[in-house]
Structures are given as structure tokens and as C-alpha cells.
Structure 1
Amino acid sequence: MKFPTYPSVVRKEILLEMQVSELFLLSLTSKNARKIVSTRKFKSTGTCFDFSNNSGISKLFFEEWSQEIEVVRWAFRKPPVSEEIVSAEILNITGIDSPCRITINPDSGIPIIWCDSDLKKVFPSFIHRYFCDLFNVPTDVQISMDLNHLHKLPNTDFVKNVRITGLETNAHLVNSFFDTVSVSYCAILDSWIHGDVSLDSSLFKVENICLYGSEYFTIEHLLRFEGKHAFLSQSHLTVQDIIRFIHHWIDGRGFKNLETLMIFTSAEDNFSDRIPEEIELKPWDLVKRPYGFYVRSAMRDFLGFSPFMQDCSKAQDVERKEDGLLATVLLGDNTFIFNVWRDTDPKAVVRNEILLEMQVSELFLLSLTSKKARKIVSTRKFKSTGTCFDFSDNSGISELSFEEWREDIEVVRWAFRKPPVSEEIVSTEILNVDGIDSSCRITINPYSGIPTIWCSSRLKKVFPSFIHRYFCDLFNVPTDVQISMNLNHLHSLPDVKFVKNVKLAGFETNAKLVDSFLNTVTVSNCAMLNTEIRGDLSLDSSLLKIDNICLYNSKCFTVEHLLRFEGRHVFLSRSHLTVQEIVRFIQHWIDGKGLQSLETLVLFSQVEDNFSERIPEEIELKPWDPAKRPSGFYMRSAMRDFLGLSPLMYDCSKAEDVERKEDGLLATVLLGDNTFIFNVWRDTDPKAPFQGGNEWIRGRIR
């Protein structure tokens, strides 16, 4: 399919009008369409599988804050004859080209993909990874399923959240599911459970659990709960059971992580009258705790609890003997709520809620206002894979971005000149940069809300390192230096000798600048060159010593460069290497003349050579021997993060191998008309830890 060549503004407006399911379907039609669709951005909290449908049709939902948007459905059979096939696509699933038919539900407009039953265990992971890569959304696996359809569960060992649906299910299925799949965050069980759930079930290790029909959940289960938040509806726990639980907590015999317990019972016990007769409860002491308790559990999101803060000013407390930790007891006729005070500073509770609502750029700006503000802001924690400088802007404005898994969040911009007269100065700060007090003006971009710091030009070489160090110290994030830059702006480069990853951007640059940059700055992990390089790269360039290199326009990269490569992974797009040069590379590797660290070479050539026919004529290739290596080769390179390579595992069961003479090391050759992939087997154990359905694992391994 050729996407119409609308002006970019018009095309963007068209994309904004399309539903997520329509965008997803469009992306399947061609690489060009996928590239265009991927420019559409969403603020997503994740995705969710739904395996609860009795018809055998599964679904993938996209979560945009509180709204769930259906994206696609699939089933492992032929489509009904009554449904019109709108498309027949060949999808590359774990390295295998698989024909699939697509229909459109006439009521909802949602596409349905009809696949072969052989794909049952791998297709859900494939479609999830494809969607997350397409829109750059969080890759956490979330599942809603009826355990009576447990056979639908894809190859996955870890999920973030699970919701067990269906009218009823059996306890042994619950035990089997939670012992097979590790749930890291939240488990909601909507289903009536018949039988006895094991006292050792991993369900009781989940951080947040919600059981709607919890009559099977006994006091023995409760006393073994190791998580933080539990919600029990239609419970059969009695007053005596709850009193036993309270004593257990007071005596410090468990519940080291407990924060919230909510019980709504169907038993005929009057909790509000009888529990105070058995347990000594103390009235609220405002010196010891705030009046309002914030529910921090995932339950407030999944169950829509309101308010988030419970008024505990009239409630009473118990105190744990070993450490004086307080818990508040809220009672109704058949309601028992137990809130543990991990944070008893009244101001801190409110302050933390405010911090949670602020953007990273807002927190950064707030931290500059005073030492006290910086100390408060530093309490906010993030799960980060690092930070990245961007020196590619032609306007002379540089920026620092913060990486939170797959999402890059812009933090701050800076330039070494006076701010434009059209921009309002919101603050003038004295920043101590390398021991020198420097006056800087700050403006706020009216569209993005990102602060821009305007500094003196004498700070050019030291300010980026200062702002990077300040940010990493503030939020305690990895200090690896990562850079995206246009080498034509090499003067913007700060005083830095080592970087972890570098991305060279811009339309074109000079080979001498590339050599100069890489001979000056040591790159420890990955170098991506997105720019066309004019001239001849040095055969001694430090580029050839980097672990992972990617050249999008690699016509400057000759076979002599390839034979001198000392790293592990190399990706060459638009290459001018010929069949004879690739044959020379393979023979070089077989003879053990170099490339001792090589693991992966991926090459897409622009020359008119038919690799798949001509290379086997020149090199003796051996068919796959299952006794010597596995069928699947996992991409372990950082390139899989930076390039979004899919799949992470190549199916090499039909590919052929070569063997290195000196040590018998195997390498697999995968060939297309103008594609050459060379995978070296450092680990040939068929049961190696990367085997199995782990393709969905979080993307970045930087």
C-alpha cells in the first residue's frame, strides 16, 4: 500500500482523526505506513490482553489513563464464511512468515486477525510487542482471563497485573496459574472459586490483591499474606478471625509490608460494637499521625476507590509492640479497614501527593529555587534507564532528556546567549557551576512547558556536565553519559572523555569529523550513525572498537572496515558490500583471522546481488543440526533497543551454518535477496536462559 503523499500537516490531522484500531490496521499494510503511523503519540498507562471470551476470540486493549480502547482481536481458526476478508497479510512471527486473514467487526470496527492454531503460544506476545514498538508504549504485560481458558495463556512467565474473570473457577486452576506466572503488581479475582486455595499459593505474595468473592479466603490465608494491600469482598471472616489478625500484627508476627486491608463481610457480626470489646483501641493523637490516610494501592486505580484519602480523625489506633508503628482501625457493621501508617508526617503525605502529580521538568525547575525545595524534590523516585544529551538542534539550543523505560521525557533546555525579548523570564537564578556563581535566566516554553536556561557563553564546555550531574544526583539515576548530536555542531560538545551511547544525527557529515569525534571520545556501548558520511573513514577509526555499531547509510563502510571490526554487533543499512566481499568476510571468520568478539552482523545491501542464491554457491553451508545448537537465536545487542528490531529471536531452524576451523564455533547465515544476517553461537545450549517466550521483556538493556 502506498500512503498518499499529503503535506505533513494534513497527514498529521488525518492520523489524529483515526482510531487506534484503524492506525494499527494501517500499519500492517507496508513499512512506509508503519513508519508514518508510529509518529502518532499517545499518553498510555499500558496495554492489556483479554482471554475471557468464550468464543475463542482474544483481544488487546490500549490503556489511555482511565480509558480502555480496544485495538485488535484474534482467533486461531478460519474466519466465518459470513465475514468479508479485507486483507490477507504475511506476518513475520518469531522469524516465521505466517499467512493471516483479517476481517472487520461490522459493529465495533475492530480488526480480527485469523491465524493458524500453531501460533497459539507465540502470537499474543508477537502482537503485544508489535503494538508497543509501534506506539512506543510501556511493555508491561497485563492480562484479563477466565481460568477455564487457561490453554489460551501465551508463553509468559511474568505479568504486571492480572484479572481473573468468569462466573466461577476451580481452586486448583488458581493455584496452577499463580505458581506458573509471577504477578509483580496486582491480582484481581472476580470469579467465584470452588475448592481450597493452597496456603502456599503465590497469590499471597502479590503486592496488591482484590478478591470479590472471598468466602474461600480463611484467616490462615490472611496470616500468610506478604503483600501491601488486600481487598476482600463477601468475606466469611468472623470477629474472632479479625481479632486474631490484629493481635498477630501487634505482636509483629508477620505483615512486614502491609499497608491497607479492607474487608467487607457477609457474616452476621457487628464489627463496630464487638471488636472494641476485644482489642484496646487508642483515640487519634494528632502528634503521632495525620488525620487523613492516603490509599496508595493499585486498587484505587483498578477499583475506582474514592476518595483516595480516608478521614481517620474519628477512628482509633493500635500500636505494634516491636517498633511503635501505628495502624488505624475503621469499623462499620460488616466493614473492617486497617491502615498502617508508614509515613506519619501530616505535611509529608500531602506533599508526596503533589510531587506525584508534577512532571519531571516541573520538579527539576522547582529544585532550583532553594536547598529545601531540592531536598523535597529528591524524595521523588523514578525507574530510569538513564539520561541523554541532545546537541542536534540547529538553533543552538541543547536539551537533556530522561529515559523512563521506553519513554524519553524532556527535562530542560539551555543556550549560551540572552533569551529572546518575546519570551517572559520567569526566574533569574545564581547557579554554582564548577565553583563559579553564574547568573542564568529561565524561561518556559509556552507549548511544551519545558524550562530553558539562558547562560553566558563562557560556560559552554562545563554547563552540560554540570546540569547532567545535578539531575542525576537529584533523582539518583544512572550517570552514564549518552549523546545525540550533529557533528556539524561539534563545538557544542562538553568536556567529556567517555560516553556510553552516541547517536550522530543530521543530513550529512564529513568522515574526518566522525574519526575526530570517536578518537576524542570513548564510546563504551553503542554508536548509531543516522547521517550520510562523506569521504573515507579511517581504517583505524575507533568506531571499529565499539561493542555495538549501527550505520543507517553505510556506503562508506567497506569490507576492509568490516574485517577490522572488534566489537560484538554491527548493523549496516544501505550497504554497498557485494557478494564477493561478503564471501571474503565469511572465509575470514572461518579461518579465525579476526572478528573474535563478533556475535551479530545484520546487513541490508543496495547493490544488485542476489545473496540467497549466490552466497551458497561460494561457501559450503551446513544444515541445522539440533544436537549442536538451538533453533532460535536471541538478539542480545543494544541495537534491539535503539532500533526496535523485531523479533528479538530469529528462527534459525531452516537456516544453514558455517563452522570456525580453530575452535568449532558455529555461525548461522540467514539470507534474503539483499539481506545478510550472520549470527555467532556463543551459547549453544538448547536450554539456554534466553530460550522460551521471553520476547516481551522490557526493551532497553542499555
Structure 2
Amino acid sequence: MSFLDFEDLNMIPFTRILEHLTLTDMFLASFTNENAHNILEDLFVRTFISIQAFDGKFDLKVKSPGPRATLCFTTQKTICDLPEGERKMVLHIRGHKIEMTLMHGLNQKVKYIHVEKKYVPLMLTVVFDYIRDLFGTTDFNICVSLNKMRRYLRDMDVLCMTIVDKKISAGSLERLLTRIRVHEHLRLLAKVTGSLPENSAIHNISQLHTQGTWMKFKHIMRFNGEHALFDRNCFTEENIVDFIAHFLLCGFPNLQTVIMRSKNRLDYKKVTQHVASRPWDPTQRARHFMYTPEISSVMNDQHLRQLTDCTYGFDIVCGHGRLATFQITPNHFVFFVWTDPFPWRHMLVDHH
């Protein structure tokens, strides 16, 4: 169904065709008349919005599970675009006139909306607000270079955020996390310069992924979230002993997963000689630990899937009775708290 199909909505009951519309169709149909806009605004469609802005590219995407596909606004054109499939449009959105081009790929099924770079400020503000209100979207995912996006970002609650700058000051990071509240996953690939405060907002992120030696062990010890992956640090066996001791004294009350990759070579014997632990007992816990989808995705990107196997890990129990397992490879320290000791019961090894 194309934009032309909506030119005479009085001929067809609009509610009859809603089930056939993609998100792109719905967005374009909302400009047809006030009745169409009101019906679409009242319709519940589960969506989430993602913003990507780095390397000179700007994308604003609305995604929905199921057959409604993706509504994509982008400053990039792909090499497989068909010139004869282009449809130039001028949309009037909340007092602003924005020129856009509806593009079709080679298979005629892939549609996206091309926006010239001069309209990026409007795309990331006016268009963003319009589609958020149209679809009632409350879930957001942001992957940005703050140097390019700082002035456009609204105060909002987001599920996930990735920061891809090379550097960001500790002060800028704290101000950003005050305005944009990350509820699930923060992936911080930038180097943070300066000193983080003791009560830094990153300590309370539910799922945190950082990269680089700027993340000091003192900040790791203050982590109050559930899952963390600290990549390319310089922690030592002594740090690991301190970390485990803190857990045994009932520290890290919310913790479920920690993965640390060190630039130093690690010797597990230098840790186990200071920690009372026991080898894997298949009657006490499963062989494999189950990560969250977000942490699993990061591990897949970095080829760390082998760290799910806890066969050769060491089990410990803290004062509150929480069972945990730690493993040490030449460059990794992995730590799991078993909220469910048998998340994959079918993987329990039978030794009889």
C-alpha cells in the first residue's frame, strides 16, 4: 500500500485498512486529513524509537515487532536506490516545512525516508516529537556521538544508550545522565576524562558496559547495578580478592553478573589461595550461566561466548546465602550470582 492509496479516505472505512499498514504508511497517512491523524493517534501500536548519530550519519528509526516493518528517516542514500521509485514530499509538521524523499530499494518492498542534512535539527526535534506522539512511543534506544547530538537531545527516559565519542568529560557525562535517564543498558565506549564523583550516576545503571583504563577499580567497587562488563582495564589478582571479599561481606546487593577483561595477565592460583571456595557441584548449580540479551550481544561482538561455561569455576556463598561462581582466565575475571541455580535445567550434566 503506497501513499497514493490514501488520497480518498472517504471511500474506504479507515479502520478496515489499518491492519495492512506499515509504520511508513501510517506516518504518511497521518498527514492525509485530521480524521486519519486522530484515528492513528488513538491506535495502540507497540513501537520503540532509535536514534543513531555518528560518522556524519543521522538515522531516526521507529521499529515495531511483527509485520509493520520499520519507519526510517536517514541522511544516507543506499547504492541500490531506484531513481524512478523516489517520491518527493513537503510535509508541514507543527509549523515547520520539511522536504523529504520517500525511497524504494531494488525489491520495491524496502522503503525509507531520505532527509537532507540541513533538516537534521528538525528531524531530531520536531519529527521526533511528532512520531513519539503519533505512536505513543515510550521506549527509546540512543547511539550517539555527543559532540554532534548534545544540543538536540531531549530530557527523556531511555531503555538503552550507547555513547561512541572518543572522549567525554566526567562532568559532561554526569550532566547527560541527569537529563537522559537510562533504565536498562548503558554502553560507554568513550574515554571519560577527569574524575567521576563518588555518587556517579553510572554506579546505579542496571547494565553497564565500559571500555578503557579510565574506569578505575574504586568505581567498580561502587557499582550498585545488576550486570557489568568492564573491558580493557588494568585490574590485578589483588583487586579480584578485594572484590570477592566485598561480596562475601554482603556487598553488591543487586549484582548478578560482572565480566572484567584485564590488560594484565592473571593467575587464578593467586586468588584461590586467599578465598575459601569449592569446585562445581552439578547438584548445586547448572554448568552454564545465562546472561541478559544485552550482555550476550556485547559478548558475541567480542567473541566471549566461551565465558558462559562455568564448569571450571569456583563456587562461593556470601553471608546472605547467595551462591556465586567466579572464573579466572589469563585475561578475564567473570563473576556470576545464581538467582536461579538451574536456568537451563536440560543442560545439567548427568554423572550417573
Cα gap change, 1:362 to 1:534, in 2 (>3 Å): farther
Deviation track 1:15-48 (CA, whole Å, cap 9, x = no partner) reads xxxxxxxxxxxxxxxxxxxxxxxxxxxxxxxxxx
Cα gap change, 1:513 to 1:398, in 2 (>3 Å): farther
- Corresponding position of 1:548: 207
Cα contact 1:599–1:680 (8 A) shared by 2: yes
Cα contact 2:24–2:112 (8 A) shared by 1: yes
Deviation (angstroms), 1:348:
7.0
Q: Tell me the distance in 1 between the aligned counterparts of 2:176 and 2:42.
A: 38
Deviation (angstroms), 1:560:
0.5
Q: Tell me the distance in 2 between the aligned counterparts of 1:603 and 1:650.
A: 14
3-state SS of paired residue (1:634): coil
- Residue 506 of structure 1 pairs with residue 168 of structure 2: no
Out of 585, 592, 602, the residue aligned to residue 243 of structure 2 is 585
- Corresponding position of 2:175: 516
Deviation (angstroms), 1:444:
4.1
Cα contact 1:537–1:556 (8 A) shared by 2: no
Give the TM-score normalised by structure 1: 0.40
Q: Tell me the distance in 1 between the aligned counterparts of 2:69 and 2:230.
A: 25
Query: Which range moved further: 647-656 or 489-498?
Result: 647-656
Q: Which one-letter code corresponds to 2:192 in the other structure?
A: I
Deviation track 1:533-567 (CA, whole Å, cap 9, x = no partner) reads 3444333210110100011x231111110110010
Q: Tell me the distance in 1 between the aligned counterparts of 2:131 and 2:284.
A: 48
Q: Tell me the distance in 1 between the aligned counterparts of 2:69 and 2:333.
A: 32
Q: Which has the larger radius of gyration?
A: 1
Q: Which one-letter code corresponds to 2:100 in the other structure?
A: I
Q: Structure 2: any 5+ residue segments left out of the alignment?
A: 1-10, 76-85, 348-352
- Residue 531 of structure 1 pairs with residue 190 of structure 2: yes
Deviation (angstroms), 1:614:
3.0
Q: Tell me the distance in 2 between the aligned counterparts of 1:635 and 1:538.
A: 29
Q: Which one-letter code corresponds to 1:428 in the other structure?
A: V
Out of 336, 340, 346, the residue aligned to residue 692 of structure 1 is 346
Q: Give percent identity, aligned residues only.
A: 19
Q: Tell me the distance in 2 between the aligned counterparts of 1:629 and 1:665.
A: 12
- Residue 655 of structure 1 pairs with residue 316 of structure 2: no
Out of 254, 277, 280, the residue aligned to residue 624 of structure 1 is 280
- Corresponding position of 2:93: 431
Q: Greater relative contact order: 1 or 2 (C-alpha under 8 angstroms, separation 6 or more)?
A: 2
Q: Which one-letter code corresponds to 2:113 in the other structure?
A: P
Deviation (angstroms), 1:457:
8.9
Q: Tell me the distance in 2 between the aligned counterparts of 1:403 and 1:530.
A: 27
Deviation (angstroms), 1:611:
3.6
Deviation track 1:457-487 (CA, whole Å, cap 9, x = no partner) reads 98688525513413524xxxx5212211112
- Corresponding position of 1:166: none
Cα contact 2:49–2:60 (8 A) shared by 1: no
Give the TM-score normalised by structure 2: 0.74
Q: Tell me the distance in 2 between the aligned counterparts of 1:679 and 1:444.
A: 48
Cα gap change, 1:493 to 1:586, in 2 (>3 Å): farther
Cα gap change, 1:643 to 1:464, in 2 (>3 Å): farther
Cα gap change, 1:674 to 1:488, in 2 (>3 Å): same
Q: Tell me the distance in 2 between the aligned counterparts of 1:644 and 1:360.
A: 30
Deviation (angstroms), 1:667:
0.9
Deviation (angstroms), 1:668:
0.2
Within 5 Å, which residues of 2 pair with 1:389-404? 389-392=51-54, 394=56, 397-402=58-63, 404=65
- Corresponding position of 1:602: 259
Cα gap change, 1:377 to 1:566, in 2 (>3 Å): same
- Corresponding position of 2:146: 487
Cα gap change, 1:401 to 1:508, in 2 (>3 Å): farther
Cα contact 2:59–2:72 (8 A) shared by 1: no
Cα gap change, 1:471 to 1:563, in 2 (>3 Å): same
- Residue 563 of structure 1 pairs with residue 221 of structure 2: yes
Out of 326, 330, 348, the residue aligned to residue 669 of structure 1 is 326
Deviation (angstroms), 1:673:
0.8
Give the structure with the larger helix fraction. Answer: 2
Q: Tell me the distance in 2 between the aligned counterparts of 1:465 and 1:361.
A: 14
Q: Structure 1: any 5+ residue segments left out of the alignment?
A: 1-345, 415-423, 694-702
What is the Cα-based RMSD across aligned positions, in Å?
3.9
Cα contact 2:237–2:270 (8 A) shared by 1: yes
Q: Tell me the distance in 2 between the aligned counterparts of 1:505 and 1:464.
A: 23
Q: Which one-letter code corresponds to 2:164 in the other structure?
A: A
Q: Tell me the distance in 2 between the aligned counterparts of 1:523 and 1:388.
A: 14
Q: Tell me the distance in 1 between the aligned counterparts of 2:158 and 2:287.
A: 36
Out of 30, 43, 54, the residue aligned to residue 367 of structure 1 is 30
Deviation (angstroms), 1:576:
1.7
Deviation (angstroms), 1:532:
3.2
Cα contact 2:163–2:187 (8 A) shared by 1: yes
Q: Which one-letter code corresponds to 1:509 in the other structure?
A: I
Deviation (angstroms), 1:411:
1.6
Deviation (angstroms), 1:610:
2.2
Cα gap change, 1:404 to 1:392, in 2 (>3 Å): farther
Deviation track 1:341-371 (CA, whole Å, cap 9, x = no partner) reads xxxxx9679x859x85x76435433433434
Aligned residues: 319
Out of 152, 156, 159, the residue aligned to residue 497 of structure 1 is 156
